[in-house]
C-alpha cells in the first residue's frame, strides 16, 4: 500500500496523510480543517464568543456577549457564556458551547465532590489544573477542528495577597495568570486593545475602578468588538439584550441585573 511504502519526509504527519487520502477537507470559510463525511458538506458547529475578565477595586468582573453562531448564521442571541462553577469560581466560554458546558458540569461536580469528601475547598492550583486537564483531554477533538474551547477562569482566593485571580488558556490546556485583564474569542483582540488602553492611558486604571466604572468599561468593550466582529453580539438596543456580567469577590458571585446594565450603558452614551 502507498501508506506503508511511502518514504517521504511527511509520511509521519497524520494530518497530511488524511488530506492525501481525501479524509480531510479544507474550507477557507470555515477556519481550520473539518473531516469530510461521504464527500458531503460537513456540519458547521456552533461557536460562542466573546468573553472578558479584569480585576477592579471590588474583585473580578467577568462578562460575555450573548451571541452564538454557526458559520455565517446567528444560531442564538441569548446564550449564557459566563458559568458559575462554585461559590467563588466562574468560567467564561469561547468556542464550542456543547464542549464547554460539559466541561463546566464536570468541573462543578469535581469541586463539589472534593469539598464534601475532604471537608475543605479545593486549592487554587487544583481548580486551575482541573480545567487545564479537561482541555488537554479534548485535544483529539481540537485536532479534528471541532469542539475547540478557549475559556477564561476567574476566582477569589481568600488566602492570597492578591486574592482576585484571572486565568486564560489555550486550546491545548496551557494556563496563564493575567496580571490585570484577559479576553478570549473572535472579538478578543479588540477587547484586549480597549482594556489595555483604558488600563494604561485611561483616567483610572482598571484595578482602581469602582463597580459603576468597571461595568461601563466592560459594556463599551463588548459593544465596540461587535462593530468589527460579526460573531460578537454586543448590545442589542432594540431587543434589549445585554451581556451576562458577573462579579466575583470575597462575598461570592453576583450577577449584575438587567436594569443596572441598562442604566450604566445609557449613562455611558
| CB-based contacts of 184, cutoff 8 Å, min separation 6 | 49, 50, 51, 52, 92, 94, 150, 151, 152, 168
Distance CA 147, CA 151 (A): 12
Cell (9 digits) for 262: 441598562
| Residue 5, φ and ψ in degrees, nearest 5 | -90, -10
Catalytic one among 16, 49, 232, 254?
49
Using DSSP bridges, classify how beta strands 252-255 and 244-249 pair: parallel, antiparallel or unpaired. antiparallel
Catalytic site includes residue 224: no
Tracing cell 469602582 back to the chain, one arrives at 210
Matching residue, cell 517521504: 8
Active-site residue list:
49
Amino acid at each position: 500500500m502507498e501508506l506503508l511504502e511511502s518514504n517521504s519526509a511527511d509520511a509521519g504527519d497524520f494530518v497530511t496523510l488524511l488530506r492525501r487520502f481525501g479524509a480531510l477537507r479544507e474550507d477557507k470559510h470555515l477556519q481550520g480543517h473539518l473531516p469530510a463525511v461521504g464527500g458531503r458538506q460537513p456540519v458547521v458547529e456552533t461557536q460562542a464568543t466573546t468573553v472578558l475578565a479584569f480585576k477592579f477595586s471590588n474583585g473580578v468582573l467577568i462578562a460575555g456577549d450573548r451571541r452564538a453562531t454557526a458559520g455565517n448564521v446567528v444560531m442564538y442571541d441569548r446564550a449564557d457564556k459566563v458559568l458559575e462553577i462554585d461559590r467563588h469560581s466562574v468560567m467564561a466560554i469561547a468556542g464550542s458551547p456543547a464542549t464547554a458546558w460539559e466541561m463546566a458540569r464536570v468541573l462543578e461536580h469535581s469541586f463539589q465532590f472534593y469539598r464534601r469528601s475532604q471537608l475543605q475547598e479545593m486549592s487554587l492550583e487544583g481548580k486551575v489544573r482541573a480545567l487545564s486537564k479537561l482541555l488537554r483531554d479534548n485535544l483529539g477533538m481540537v485536532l479534528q477542528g471541532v469542539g475547540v474551547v478557549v475559556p477564561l477562569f476567574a476566582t477569589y482566593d481568600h488566602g492570597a495577597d492578591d486574592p482576585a485571580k484571572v486565568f486564560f488558556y489555550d486550546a491545548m490546556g496551557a494556563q496563564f495568570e493575567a496580571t490585570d485583564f484577559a479576553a478570549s474569542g473572535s472579538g478578543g483582540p479588540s477587547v484586549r486593545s480597549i482594556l489595555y488602553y483604558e488600563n494604561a492611558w485611561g483616567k483610572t486604571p482598571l484595578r482602581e475602578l469602582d463597580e459603576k466604572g468597571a461595568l461601563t468599561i466592560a459594556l463599551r468593550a463588548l459593544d465596540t468588538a461587535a462593530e468589527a466582529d460579526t460573531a460578537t453580539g454586543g448590545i442589542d438596543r432594540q431587543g434589549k439584550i445585554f451581556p451576562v456580567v458577573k462579579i466575583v469577590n470575597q462575598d461570592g458571585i453576583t450577577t449584575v441585573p438587567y436594569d443596572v446594565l441598562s442604566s450604566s450603558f445609557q449613562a455611558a452614551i
